[in-house]
Each structure stands twice: as structure tokens, then as C-alpha cells.
Chains A and B, each alone.
Chain A
């Protein structure tokens, strides 16, 4: 295990940001700390980096107890949501900063900076100031700066949070590739479940100061430990007292013979791109919110259900359901 956090607790006034959290981060992998805003995931990352001190608990990095080490001694690379670019320095100087602090010989610094700028595709911007770069370029510069010192772990705090949707997606793919090239133990914080599912080898779901579940993206999606994880990782709807994913609901236009099903009326049919969403008001529970079903366009066309139709619903066989 590359990073071990044991029994970390952190309060800000009355607010409990972390409540006795223990996490192990495996070496060489890309781990996501996923959870809603204010859930404590950034605090956890900052405690690992030494930018914040836990009220109690311990942190060890690569087997070394780092609980009382200041940030500058931990040899971690940290990438901030808002880049934290050194605005008065050129891009190359930004990347060289950590090496200059370590009194690395000039020649070596030059080579390492060149190498990193090439890695993040910024070699032609070496002499620009950060203000002349786009958001995505600045964040790549920040990554190069963090990687320059060959950190034992790389920590990223909502690294794509300040970027627009398209750049986010590009950088996400790029981070995945970068990690395959430079396999340093990496932890990144995100509140975007899609980002975590797509990029991470392992996901730690953090909510209200506690770890809800740790596992691979598949584990989490297919076997959520509780309703929170299920709800946070993807869409859910309620059907006969159980939570189920909307694409795991089967729809019939006749009561299916020999199978338990629930009757309802389609109150709305909405096409969203390649899928069709049906909102179904169930018979017998008139005040409840409608159950949502997602179908592919082909399925929907075959079924012929539209607003006003009466349908019968049941969870698909082997569908994951949790009690409400």
C-alpha cells in the first residue's frame, strides 16, 4: 500500500469534515475519491498532502509515517483545482520550481523541464506566462510542475473542476494515458461519478465525512454497498418498494403471464438522444412520484407505449435492487 490513512478525524468548528476515516491507496494505481461537495474528500486529500493536519489519526506514505511531516517534506505532487500557477514566472520556470528548491544542477533542470513540457504538450509555450495559456493548458502545466520533482504520489484536487465540459473530457482521457506512461500512484478528487468511473482503477466513495465503499468501478456500479452509493454512481428509480436502475426495468403492454408485475399509466414519454424515458404513475399509489424507465429507441418503438398508455412494470431478471 502506498498511502495509509488511519482513523483520520478533522473538524472545522462544529462541522465534522472527516469522521474516523481509514483508507489504503494501492501503489501505482489511479484512485478516485468520489463524493458530493462538502463530503470531506478534498479534506482527506489535503491531509494526505500535509496541507491540512488531521485532529487525530495518522498518515503514512510508502511505509514512512508522515503524520507530523510538513507539506514540503512529503515529496508529493499536488495539483490544485484552480491551477495555483505562479503567475509571475514563465511556464518553464513554474515547472522548474521544485527542482530549483531541491538545488538540482542547472543542466539537469533544463533537461527535466524539456522532458515534462513535451510530456504535457506544452514545449512551444515554455517562455509564456501562465496568463497567456488556456485553462486546460494551465492545468497541464500544473501537472508537469507536480511531476517534475518525481513525487512518490501525485494528488489532484478536482483537477478538471474549473474547465468547460469539452476540455474536461479531453483532459480526462489524457490523464488516463499519462498515468499509463508515468505510473506514479495517483489520487484524484472528483464529484463527477462519470469521471471516476471512466478514469479510475479504484474508487473510494466519501460522503458526510465517512468512507461509504471502496472498490473497482465495476464493483461499485454492480454491487453498491448501500443506497447512497447506488444513487451516487448512477440513476435510480423506485419500483414496488425497491430501488432499481431505470434501464433494469422491463415494460410490458399486457400483464406478463405468471410473473409478478405492477400496473401503471405512462404520464410522459421523452426522447433524449438514443434513449427514451417513460414516467409511469403506478396504480394504487397515486401520490407517489412516477417510476422512471429507460428504453432504447428500438425497444420503445416495438413496445409502442406513449403518454396515456397502460403498462406493467417489473425489475429485469438479475437486476440489482436495494430495499428503499
Chain B
């Protein structure tokens, strides 16, 4: 539209703002209100409850492990997908997106079937070797890594494609080996995309619920993550704690998103 009439523009703007306020803005702000109705009491009470503290620690630890795994995997696979040719590359690249559209419940079920003691796959063998996947932190890490797997790849691949290989070849011709080229040339060129992907992975990992619910068994003080605790406390009518923990989770995820929103325009196009 070369010129849009101010009237149309204002109407659309209003519609969008009203829609977003009703759907997202207002409800989210109410959780903040609900958390602080009694000042900081609810938050303080929650943070002195050892079960809550345990669940928060478990959540952070699982999220960090899953993020680390996905970062290493994501960067490696992105480099291979963009810079090398091999059979089945298109298939792999399509499959990597799969976890984004698989229901968390299906993810949980899949892990139960493949690695659970009652499954026909690796479960019995793992149990024999003394490795517990289900109802153990390992299963939670697997489930969390599964659901957040593609996020780093999706951010890094387009940037790698855009920067091409000229700089890498220049570095090679100047005597740099593969490792030197990666640390000195490739990594600095993709660093903002990588930060973005890592932050998204972290946010997604902190908040995973469905898959974790199935594989963890939701054992209070042992395998209960923060999101599982929110559900349980809400059902147990401990709304104050539910809101306080939900607020903490929401605060972290909104902080992640805000960080990323401010990172992206500043550095995304500045190459």
C-alpha cells in the first residue's frame, strides 16, 4: 500500500493492540498481580519451601544440561548441513525440525517406550546396566533436550548460509587449520545467532512440562521440576505457591525474550 489512509491504519492498530492485550498482556499481568497481592510474602514463603527450592534447582540443572547438549549438537550439525554435502542431507535437515511439531506428550511416550523398563527396546538392557532413565534426572534431560533440539540449528543455519565460505577459505589460504578457522572466523560470525538460539533453548528447556511429566514420574523432592510443581500446587489449592513459582518461570522467560529482542536488531543485521 503506497498510502494507507490514517483511518485504516488506526483501526488496524487498535484491533491488534486490543487482541494482544486480551490474549497475552492482561492475563500475564494478572499473574504478576496475583503473586504480589500480599507483597513479597508469597514469593518469600515459596522460596523457603524446600520442595520448591529443590524443584527450581532441578529445573535449572536440567535446562543447563539440555542447553549444553543442544548447543554442541546444534553448532556441529549446522556446520555439516551448510558446508558439506552428503547423502540424506535434505532428509536430516527436515527431520531435525520434527521435535518442534511433536506433542510433548508423544515425546514423553516415545522415551518411555524406548528407554523405559517395560519397553521392548533398550529399557531392560539399561536397567541391567544400572542406568535409570525413567523417574530419574537422565530421563528429564533427554525429554527436555528432545523438545528444544532444533532451536539452535534453526538460528545458526541461516546465518551460516548467508556468510558463505569466503572468509573460511581466506583463513585457510592464510594457513589456519580447521579448528583455528572455527574459533577465529566462524564462531565470531555466528555468535549472535548462537546466543539467540541458546537463549531460546534455555527458555524452552526451563518451561518444558508435558514430556517431563511423563518421564519424571513427578516425584516430589526427587524428580519434580518447577512446572510440575506449579500444576500440583494449583490442584492442591496452594495457589499462592503456584502463582509465585509461575511468576518466577514467567519472569525468566520474558527476560530471555526481551534480551533476545534487543539483541537481534542491534546485531542481527550488522554484519
A and B touching (Cβ–Cβ under 8 A): yes
What is the interface of chain A, defined by CB distance below 8 A to chain B? Answer: 49-51, 70-78, 80, 82-88, 97-98, 101-102, 142, 145-146, 149
Least distance between A152 CB and chain B CB atoms (Å):
12
Pick the contact of A101: B175, B189, B271 (CB < 8 A): B175
Given A84-B166, A87-B167, A101-B180, the answer on whether A78 and B173 have CB atoms closer than 8 Å is yes
Cβ proximity bits B157-183 to A, threshold 8 Å, 1 near / 0 not: 000000000110111111111001000
Which residues of chain A come closer than 8 Å to B39, judged between CB atoms? none
**What residues of chain B have their CB less than 8 Å away from a CB belonging to chain A?**
166-167, 169-177, 180, 184-185, 188-189, 271
Chain B residue at minimum C-beta to C-beta distance from A86? B167
Cβ 8 A contact of A98, one of B167, B174, B177, B185: B174
- Is the Cβ of B189 less than 8 Å from the Cβ of A87? yes
B271 touches A71 (CB 8 A): no
User: B171, B173, B271: which has the most chain A beta carbons within 10 Å?
Assistant: B173
Q: Are A88 and B173 within 8 A (Cβ)?
A: no
Known A-B contacts A51-B172, A88-B188; the reply to A72 vs B177 at CB < 8 A is yes
Contacts of B175 in A (CB 8 A): 72-73, 75, 98, 101-102, 149
Starting from the known contacts A72-B174, A84-B170, 4 additional A-B residue pairs (CB-CB under 8 Å) come to A50-B172, A84-B166, A84-B167, A101-B174
Say how far B244's CB is from chain A's closest CB, in angstroms.
43
Shortest distance from the beta carbon of B85 to any chain A beta carbon, whole Å: 12
List A contacts of B188 (CB < 8 A). 88
Report how far A86 CA is from B180 CA in the complex, Å.
14
Q: Bound complex: CA of A101 vs CA of B188, how far in Å?
A: 16
CA distance A167 to B189 in the complex (A): 29
A113–chain B nearest beta-carbon distance, Å: 13
Give the residues in chain B near A71, CB-CB below 8 Å. Answer: 169, 172-173
- How far does the alpha carbon of A145 sit from the alpha carbon of B193 in the complex, in Å? 28
Q: B172 contacts A72, CB within 8 Å?
A: yes
Give the complex CA separation of A88 and B270 in angstroms: 10
Q: Looking at the complex, which one of A87, A97, A98, A142 makes contact with B271 (CB distance below 8 Å)?
A: A87
**Chain B residues with Cβ under 8 A from A51's Cβ?**
169, 172-173
Q: Which of A73, A80, A86 has the most CB of B within 10 A?
A: A86
Is A72 a contact of B173 with CB atoms below 8 Å? yes
A88 engages B189 (CB within 8 Å): yes
Q: Which residue of A lies closest to B189 (CB)?
A: A88
Partner of B174, one of A50, A70, A146: A146
A102–B189 alpha-carbon span in the complex (Å): 22
Could you tell me the distance between the alpha carbons of A82 and B167 in the complex, rounded to whole angstroms?
Answer: 10
A-B residue pairs in contact (CB < 8 Å), sample of 25: A50-B173, A51-B169, A51-B172, A51-B173, A71-B172, A71-B173, A72-B172, A72-B174, A72-B175, A74-B173, A75-B175, A76-B173, A77-B174, A78-B170, A84-B167, A84-B170, A86-B167, A87-B189, A97-B174, A97-B176, A142-B170, A145-B170, A145-B174, A146-B173, A146-B174
Minimum CB–CB distance from A306 to chain B (whole Å) comes to: 51
Shortest distance between the CB of B36 and any CB in chain A (Å): 43
Give B211 Cβ to nearest chain A Cβ, in Å: 38
How many Å lie between the Cα of A75 and that of B176 in the bound state? 11
Bound together, the chains give a CA A75 to CA B180 distance in angstroms of 16
Q: In whole angstroms, what is the CA distance A273 to B176 when docked?
A: 51
Decide: B180 and A80 in contact? CB cutoff 8 A: no
Give min CB distance, A151 to chain B, whole Å. 9
Q: Is the CB of B174 within 8 A of A80?
A: no
Chain A residue nearest in CB terms to B172: A71
- A256–B7 alpha-carbon span in the complex (Å): 83
Q: Nearest B residue to A87 by beta-carbon distance? A: B271
Residue of B nearest to A81 (CB): B166
CA distance A106 to B39 in the complex (A): 59
Bound Cα distance A98, B184 (Å) = 11
Expressed in whole angstroms, the minimum distance between the Cβ of A131 and any Cβ of chain B is 8
Closest chain-A Cβ to B157's Cβ sits at a distance in Å of 19
Provide the residues of chain A in CB contact with B185, threshold 8 Å. Answer: 86
